[in-house]
Structure 1
Amino acid sequence: MARPNDEVAELFQEYADLLSITGGDAFKIRSYEKAARGIGGYHKDVSTLGTSELRSIPGVGASIADKIAEYVATGTVAAVERVRQKVPPGVRRLVAIPTLGPKKAAALYEQLGISSVEELEAAIHSEALRGLKGFGPRTEENILHGIRLLRQSGERVLLDTALGLAEEIVAAVSAAPGCLRCTHAGSLRRFRETIGDVDVLAAAEDSGPLMAALRDSPVVAEIIAAGEKKTSVRTTEGVQVDLRVVPAAAWGAALQYFTGSQAHNVRTRVMAVRAGLKLSEYGLFDSGTGELIVSETEDEVYGRLGLPWIPPTLREDRGEIEAGLDGTVPRLVTEADLRGDLHTHTDLTDGVGSLEHMVDAAAARGLEYYAVTDHAPDMPMQRMTAEKMLAQRERVRELDRKHPGMRVLHGTELNIGPDGDVDWPHAFLREFDLCVASVHSHFTQDRATMTRRLVRACENPDVAVIGHPTARLIGRREPIDVDLEELFRACARTGTALEINAQPDRLDLRDEHILLAKRFGVRFAIDSDAHAVGHLGFVRYGVGTAQRGWLTADDVITAWPWPRLREFLEAGRS
């Protein structure tokens, strides 16, 4: 079941989109977009808060607080329902298409009567859009690509959604009488960036109470199949969950089997056959006598095959078996290894948390250093100026003194322009503690131009980190077209770190790119890109992605102690 905060955030984002379609006031639209971000990232459950407490949420004023209370009490908001009545459901569905914003969706409906994704696709193929202003061949191509992305994303959910759902179900099943062990498995345990089905594994002698706990869960909308060993349900969010219950003695073999991946399991089964054994979800057996050899723990299963325990995030048949055989499985970076966060935002630009709240929350997490990196002025909608940034710097210095156990750094997220330039000149940038530079526009440049653009940013001595390097948004925007090997060579040559942006809809760099970049000697920064206090915990997804890229703490600059990081930052500017 989605958190009330997430439900309200989604509702207010929809309201903002509906207001855009119907020509609503631009200030009101931005207010609801900002409130949605603030509510989604707020640490307290909004359904438990009174009106005065709701108004303490960043971006929430009296009117919005009243609407939150109305939703909590009734499950709906009258103002949203009134606007919904003005916009056909199909048009609302159009807004979900990547690259197609509310204004274009409204134009399609008003001028051509298009009110569904299917009608839009047919209209493009029949060239019915060609007469509309702003809908040329390139726009049509982008919309068709967006429709494909929409359909693909509908089949899978993002990592954070799947993990939140899995943790809720695991908690419910674990509380059932007779449950001995319970955890999630499958691609979720391997920290894949998107998840199809959620696999949950439990151990018990009597599966009945555990299966009942799943069926009775408030997140369940439909029972697909129910049995003694496996029950499959569909949740209220449309995600299939499969619960398997095994005897405690088979736990290790079952967990190894149902974690996967399929390719990894094929390799381990082949190893078993060559050793005269048979490996299944029930255990490791002597193939001749059928005698059970081991099954209770994963360590035992791997050990009997001549392997160390292999972390789930590596189980993709990308060299982990060979590394296990020759004793070179790395000690992967963990969330506990992280000492800092070098990319975060406040309400000075598009964040919703105040500077003080963000810094206090970072200190509460026990960080050794924390950078505030609000946007620079080349994103006009942020209305940043040099004067605002200098005023923020004074406040950052005060907070640095207030938190003697944590270095508070003043940075900025620069915009990498179409030709590789950044927002401010060197004389201004050198006074920042660090600069992150990211692509925020001109996403469709050709490969050669985009590559030169990013390489030039790497060569800028003021740039320490390239933020979300491929600029993708999972299911909504494809990665930019860049020669990654050339970018990685430039980063290694200039000492510029590449970010692993932990926002669940980015996870950028992705795992395959991390694997390749590491071979070039690139360093990485796992950052939250937090826009609210609640986002600081996103680093867990960045860590999982880093593990899938075989990274150790030594590869990750945000896992380094402050003196070593300071040397790294200073060396890049020399």
Structure 2
Amino acid sequence: MVRRNEEAAQLLQEYADLLAITGGDAFKARAYEKAARAIGGHPTDIATLDPAGLREIPGVGRSIAEKVTEYLRTGHVPLIEEARQTVPPGVRELMAIPGLGPKKAMVLHQELQVSSVDELLGAIHRERLRDLRGFGPKSEESILRGIAMMQKAGGRILLGAAMDIAERIVADLAGVTGCEGCAYAGSLRRMRETIGDIDVLVAAGDPGPFMTAFTELPYTAEVIAHGPKKTSVRTTKGLQVDLRVLPPDSWGAGLQYFTGSKAHNIRVREIAVRQKMKLSEYGLFHARSGKKITSGTEEEIYARLGLPWIPPTLREDRGEIAAALRGELPRLVAEEDIRGDLHTHTDLTDGLAPLEDMAAAAAARGYSYYAVTDHAPDLVMQRMTDEKMLAQRERVRALDGRYGRMRLLHGTELNIGPDGDVDWPPEFLAGFDLCVASVHSHFRQSPRELTRRLIRACENPYVSIIGHPTTRRIGRRPPLDADFDAVFEACARTGTALEINGHPDRLDLGDEDILRAKRYGVKFAVDSDAHATLHLAHMRFGVGTAQRGWLTGDDIINTWPLQRLRRFLREGRRRTGG
């Protein structure tokens, strides 16, 4: 059953946005935003909680708990519906543009009578925004980039959201009598960062019960097509899911075919043709006689064509076929190779859980080490002080050893300022086990300024990892316009790792940047950037992205034993003069 947490979190975030649009109490808006994040990251399904249980969630007071309870009971919250009526529909459409905040959207509507993306594009082309206070040529460029991002994304959704619904569907269909195999395929199996629709495959002799069960799932909102071999539905979240039922003896061929990508499959079929064979979703056949050669498993299909099994995350026609033929496919990093998480947050800053809960959840994942890296003081909203950070360090040292064999590391996420400086002086930074440094503001500097800013951070002897290096938010914020080849070269020179941030709306670095950076000899850290215990599971998405970048365990510093990791951290400080 789908958790209601995400629905309630979206509702509360919408109300926070509505308050911001209408000039409501800024403190109240932040309170609703914080509550939305807390509910979204809460491990328990809120549908099972009474108002008292809801109030135990950090940031959820009596008023918010009452609204959530009302929504769970009736599906409506009159106060929020009233707030919606105060905001013109056009403003809400404009707010969907990445980088255009609620206040600016309201100004555009009020001052220029703009109510749609097309009208906004017309206003930009006529240079009408330049007369508005707070707007100008740079604003126009930023809005145009945001519109392009939105149009490019189309109806695609983030990997994490697609994975959640796909795994629920697979679990439900696997329980239907007669199921001999069930899995998701397509771009989701390849761990693409966004998903257009979901392909689910079932191996069974009789497709009827599965097609019926599929259309009756609680999160099916609309049946688009219903047939004996394929049924398509639209979920309550608006995502299309296609179900295909294959004969059990065609399982391997079907899984290979529907996983794709299209370009990869064309290459594989070309190999089959050269060997006088034909490959389809039903099997590998002799071209002349039509006799089936094999179809049971993907491994058998690839082997009969003279290839090793190729991991789905590599099947993008980026050289994997040639590497397979040469016997040079990498042994890709796997989630079980990860020994620790090096970028996480607690409720000392913007996290939702205390240090003890985060550490216990990390230990339950079998980690050998775990780093807490709360925000530093230059991110003013987090209200960090030297005293708070030192007190946390003492607590980390006191807890170290209480979680089995897992060691606790004390770190911080520094803010890379506009000139490349970071929050604390060297003598304070020297006390941390490691420092992650990230850009959190001034995204619109010139390419030259942004490049120099990042390189200066790499050259800081106490910066071990550059966090979410491009700062992108998929579909919401474009990457920094910096010379990343120069940044990659600096990271290799200084011994600074680049993060692959596993949060589904970041996945930063992305796979193409990873491929480029690896050529410079850069090392990487795959982290969850967890702000709640549930977020530690984002590691899987970071690992999938690392696989798409052809990374092995040796490329990733948090697959290494703690002794080797500490040596890397020390060598980085020595190399840059710390």
Q: CA deviation at 1:259?
A: 0.5
1:118 maps to amino acid? D
Match of 2:170 in 1: 170
Q: What's 1:13 paired with?
A: 13
Answering whether residue 525 of structure 2 is matched by residue 558 of structure 1, we say no
Worse-superposed segment, 448-457 or 180-189: 448-457
TM-score, normalising length: structure 1: 0.97
CA distance in 2, matches of 1:468, 1:238: 29
Q: Aligned runs of 1:340-359 on 2, under 5 Å? A: 340-359=340-359
Distance 1:128 1:449 in 2: 29
Say whether 1:262 aligns with 2:262.
yes
Equivalent residue for 2:249?
249
CA separation of 1:2 and 1:151: change in aligned 2, threshold 3 A: farther
Q: Could you tell me which amino acid in structure 2 is paired with residue 301 of structure 1? A: I
Identify the range of structure 1 (293-302 vs 103-112) with the bigger mean alpha-carbon deviation: 103-112
Partner of 2:318: 318
- Sort the Cα spacing of 1:500 and 1:210 in 2 relative to 1 into closer, same or farther, 3 A: same
Q: Is the 8 A contact 1:222 1:233 kept in 2?
A: yes
Matched residues in 1 for 2:260 and 2:524: separation?
27
Paired amino acid for 2:188: L
User: 2:237 is paired with a residue of what secondary structure?
Assistant: coil
Partner Cα distance (1:39, 1:244) in 2: 35
Local SS of the residue matching 2:111: helix
- Counterpart CA distance in 2 for 1:141 and 1:315 is 35
Q: Which residue of 2 aligns with 1:108?
A: 108
Does the CA contact (< 8 Å) of 1:340 and 1:558 recur in 2? yes
Q: Distance in 2 between matches of 1:489 and 1:109?
A: 45
- Please tell me whether residue 85 in structure 1 is matched to residue 85 in structure 2: yes
Partner in structure 2 of residue 519 of structure 1: 519
Counterpart residue number, 1:335:
335
The alignment's C-alpha RMSD in Å is: 1.5
1:53 equivalent in structure 2? 53
Question: In the comparison of the two structures, how many residue pairs are matched?
Answer: 574
| Structure 1 residue runs of 4 or more that deviate by more than 6 Å after TM superposition | none
The residue number in structure 1 matching 2:157 is: 157
Q: Provide the secondary structure at the position in 1 that maps to 2:144.
A: helix
Q: Secondary structure at 1:402's aligned position in 2?
A: coil
Q: What does residue 537 of structure 1 align with?
A: 537
Give 1:299 shift: 0.8
| Structure 2 SS opposite 1:130 | helix
- CA 1:350–1:170 in 2, change beyond 3 Å: closer, same or farther? same
**Do the aligned partners of 1:159 and 1:504 also contact (CA within 8 Å) in 2?**
yes
Q: Percent identity?
A: 66
Counterpart of 2:196? 196
Residue of structure 2 in register with 1:28 after alignment: 28
Measure how far apart 1:2 and its partner are. Answer: 5.4
User: Which has the larger displacement, 538-547 or 58-67?
Assistant: 58-67
Query: What is the TM-score of this pair, normalised by structure 2?
Result: 0.96
Q: Per-residue CA shift, 1:179-203, capped at 9, x if unaligned?
A: 2211000111000000111111111
Greater alpha carbon shift after TM alignment, 149-158 vs 555-564: 149-158
1:401 CA drift (Å)? 4.2
State the Cα distance separating 1:540 from its structure 2 match.
Answer: 0.5
Does residue 220 of the first structure (1) align with residue 233 of the second (2)? no
Describe the superposition over 1:197-234 as per-residue Cα deviations: whole angstroms up to 9, x where unpaired.
Answer: 11111111111111111111222222222211111222
Contact in 1 for aligned 2:363/2:404 (Cα 8 Å): no
Using the TM superposition, name which of 455-464 and 92-101 deviates more.
Answer: 92-101
Tell me, which stretches of 5 or more residues in structure 2 are unaligned?
none
Query: What is the alpha-carbon distance in structure 1 between the residues aligned to residue 35 and residue 27 of structure 2?
Result: 12
Give the 3-state SS of the residue equivalent to 1:183 in structure 2: strand
Moved more, 356-365 or 555-564: 356-365
How far is 1:36 from its partner?
Answer: 0.9
Q: Does 1:210 align with 2:210?
A: yes
1:486-525 to 2 correspondence within 5 Å?
A: 486-525=486-525
Equivalent residues in 2 for 1:182-193 (5 A)? 182-193=182-193
Mapping of residues 92-491 of structure 1, within 5 Å: 92-491=92-491
Answer yes or no: is the 8 Å Cα contact 1:411–1:432 preserved in 2.
yes
The 2-side partners of 1:218 and 1:208 are apart by 18
> Can you list the C-alpha shifts for 1:20-65, whole angstroms capped at 9, x where unaligned?
1111111111111111111111111000112222122122122222
Greater mean deviation of Cα atoms: 9-18 or 487-496: 487-496
Once the two structures are TM-superposed, the CA of residue 79 in structure 1 deviates from its matched residue by 2.1
Q: What's the secondary structure of 1:526's corresponding residue?
A: strand
Distance 2:488 2:112 in 1: 47
**Contact 2:313/2:544, CA 8 A, preserved across alignment:** yes
Tell me by how many angstroms 1:362 deviates.
1.4
Query: Any idea what the Cα deviations from partners look like across 1:329-348, whole Å, max 9, x if unmatched?
Result: 22211111111011111222
Distance 1:252 1:196 in 2: 23
**5+ residue gaps in structure 1?**
none
Q: Distance in 2 between matches of 1:533 and 1:55?
A: 18
Q: 3-state DSSP class of the match of 2:243?
A: strand
Give, in whole Å, the separation in 2 of the partners of 1:145 and 1:570.
41
